[in-house]
Amino acid sequence: MTRAKIELGDVTPHNIKQLKKLNTVVFPVSYNDKFYKDVLEAGELAKLAYYNDIVVGAVCCRIDTSENSRRLYIMTLGCLYPYRRLGIGTLMVEHVLKYVEQDGNFDSIFLHVQVNNEGAIDFYKKFGFEIVETKEHYYKRIEPADAHVLQKTIRAPQPPIPLLNGSVPHAKTNGHD
C-alpha cells in the first residue's frame, strides 16, 4: 500500500470557497467575509491541508500585538473528522511553530477552545500549550458558551533591568527624575 500524501498549500482566491466549506463543517461557529478577506492576505499564516490532494483541513492565524506583546493567534485550526489522527493537525501546528521560530520575535501563541472540547485541549497540550484563562460567554450562539484560552509561551516577558544603583529606568525619561 502506498503512503498517503499529506501536505500544506496556500489559500488563494481560487480555493477560498473550499476553506469556507471546510470551516462550516468543522466549526460550530461561522466566520464573516472580513475573516476570509484577511485570510487571503495572511500568506504563510493561512494554509490548507491536503490528504492525497483533497482539502481536509486548514489553519488560519493572525499576529496580535495587544497587551504589550507580539503574539500569534490561531483563529482556526481544524480537520475533517474522518481524517483526524493521521498527523494532519500535527503538521499544521508544526507549521505554525516553525513560522514563529523562524520569525524569532513572538512572545507566545494562543487560541480559544470551547471548554467541552477535550480532544482539542489534549491535542494542544501535547505541543506545550496550557490553559491560562477561561472566558465566560465567549461564544454567542453555541453551548457551552465559555472558552478556554490556551497559550504556549515562546519568550518569557523580560523584566526591566535594574541600574547599578538598584533603581529601574523609566520608560520615558528626559534625564531628570
Q: Is 112 among the residues known to form the active site? A: yes
Length of the chain: 177
Q: Is 36 among the residues known to form the active site? A: no
> 123 and 152 in contact (C-beta within 8 Å)?
no
Return the SS3 of 120: helix
Which of 98, 97, 77 has its CA nearest to residue 88?
77
Q: Select which of 31, 83, 99, 112 is catalytic.
A: 112
Q: Select which of 73, 83, 138, 139 is catalytic.
A: 73
Full DSSP string of 21-42: HHHHHH-SS---HHHHHHHHT-
- Catalytic residue numbers read 73, 112
